[in-house]
Structure 1
């Protein structure tokens, strides 16, 4: 049997995440036919099928589940070894790999990274924007050193710190019935606004999950009039009068140049954060330590 091939291992893990050879090939920037051939060759050498292929995609077989778990472990060990070796240098070289959500890139992270890059010009930055679940998977696979994601996930296996406050806000247009309430400058309860039609934002996202859980807790359903995929689109639809909207505070800059009104929600569940997340077992190289130290020093909690 040939030696372990990290590229093929990454492809197997990617296919298991996406359920698609095509999407895995896009992530690794390899032709779909080449990916399919690599997987077929691997299955031939192993003598087992790793995936059940169909028109709906590729799903792991029981043997594939075992193989993917092993690949993840080996890829983590390779990444950790590379990180440890960085500390044999002065710490002024090497790299920092971040997996972060769009909310993180909408907040203070870009300015923080600019300050970091200025102080450490020889450290390479690899910034990957993705959903929170994929960011955590990137750490598990050894493709990221640190993830920056919303706080409403299961972090029991990880080490976390608050990176930035990211409270939930409610939005409406100036002619909406709620406009005087939002203009008052006071916080608003969720049950005051939940009965109004809502401009929804990508289902299964962090904010959508929060709102759905809160609505279920209150015994009500969110009345979505329209549903959009991006936060700029949400702001535009709220401005046009299609309903109220909800936004994390890191995205409030999107209201610039609009007449949209906003107010903080007073409910305890709306006090949210973005977190820096790491695997506790992964080593802390000098570049990672420098980034975490800068993040701590520049974090100022919202009042």
Structure 2
């Protein structure tokens, strides 16, 4: 009985392409089957199915084996490219699953000039050099919204606030420093208190975390019965410190920023002012590269706490920083 030929356009499976390419390379269904561990009849049947789906003969069949038709030679290039692309795609996905490549998008709220976060980024980059790191400046509300929408993987924020639909892990702490001109009378002291600063003018940046620094200054100095003079400057953090140097006012930074040794300024810590830092992320974020990054952050936090228990192990609930919305 004559075999009815299927109409062109049926579904082509990966095994159809694999068997076709093997047959073309070996010039025989029998040899192709032996090479890939499949029976000759299965090879022949799947190649025939492929021809039915394409609506064209791919091989001339003869007693010695098979040879490609004109259509078969053209299709062979396409089949090999498809198989190669599938293999590369599978390797890419497997590598992403092992956190060997991909992207981690990080919301930051302060300088990464030094300290825990700078060291974490360096260590992660050394181990996972093929993973792209994207850093995004912004305020906490912007970062949390981006995390919930999966536009950010993680944000590093200050304070002990829990955000709805997010997980949080305390990682490290830093001291708060006053930035003042190096000729300022207070620069002669090793450490300062809030009463020392009650009569001083301050400047803050319009960009984050300027508003949070402004609000914290108001809270602390209002508790001393003072209404601080605070000017908002339309510059970034990098240009704020030179304004301090020329006497436009003092400002506050976290400890990581104090490695910036600009001419004309001095850093002095404020007694008992400690900033707790936390990572915040979505619990349903399954980005493997991010999960590896978070794991490294937690391990680094544990090691840091063992090395410097007087500072890094301070929990947010025990830290002198009492604000629910501190700055960083």
The Cα of 1:272 is off from its aligned counterpart by: 0.6
**Structure 1 residues 278 and 87: CA distance shift in structure 2, 3 A:** farther
Q: What is the distance in 1 between the residues matched to 2:167 and 2:94?
A: 21
1:252-271 equivalent positions in 2, closer than 5 A: 252-254=258-260, 256-267=261-272, 270-271=273-274
Q: What is the distance in 2 between the residues matched to 1:248 and 1:164?
A: 12
2:106–2:134 Cα contact (<8 Å) kept: yes
Matched, 1:193 2:197: yes
Matched with 2:226 is: 220
**Structure 1 residues 217 and 228: CA distance shift in structure 2, 3 A:** farther
Larger Rg: 2
1:249-288 equivalent positions in 2, closer than 5 A: 249-254=255-260, 256-267=261-272, 270-280=273-283, 282-288=284-290
Q: Which of residues 173, 184, 197 in structure 2 aligns to 1:176?
A: 184
Matched with 2:136 is: 128
Q: What is the distance in 2 between the residues matched to 1:144 and 1:287?
A: 13
Return the TM-score normalized by structure 1: 0.59
Report how many residues are paired: 210
The Cα of 1:206 is off from its aligned counterpart by: 2.8
Q: What is the distance in 2 between the residues matched to 1:89 and 1:231?
A: 38
1:239-258 equivalent positions in 2, closer than 5 A: 239-254=245-260, 256-258=261-263
1:202–1:208 Cα contact (<8 Å) kept: no
The Cα of 1:248 is off from its aligned counterpart by: 1.6
**Structure 1 residues 243 and 287: CA distance shift in structure 2, 3 A:** same
Matched with 1:293 is: 295
1:1-303 equivalent positions in 2, closer than 5 A: 89-101=97-109, 103-108=110-115, 109-151=117-159, 155=163, 157-181=165-189, 185=190, 187-202=191-206, 205-224=211-230, 227-254=233-260, 256-267=261-272, 270-280=273-283, 282-299=284-301, 300=304, 303=311
RMSD: 2.9
Q: Secondary structure at the match of 1:99?
A: strand
Return the TM-score normalized by structure 2: 0.55
Q: Where does structure 2 lack aligned partners over 5 or more consecutive residues?
A: 1-92, 312-328
**Structure 1 residues 243 and 99: CA distance shift in structure 2, 3 A:** closer
**Structure 1 residues 97 and 242: CA distance shift in structure 2, 3 A:** closer
Structure 1 ranges of 4+ moved more than 4 A: 85-88
Q: What is the distance in 2 between the residues matched to 1:247 and 1:212?
A: 16
Q: Where does structure 1 lack aligned partners over 5 or more consecutive residues?
A: 1-84
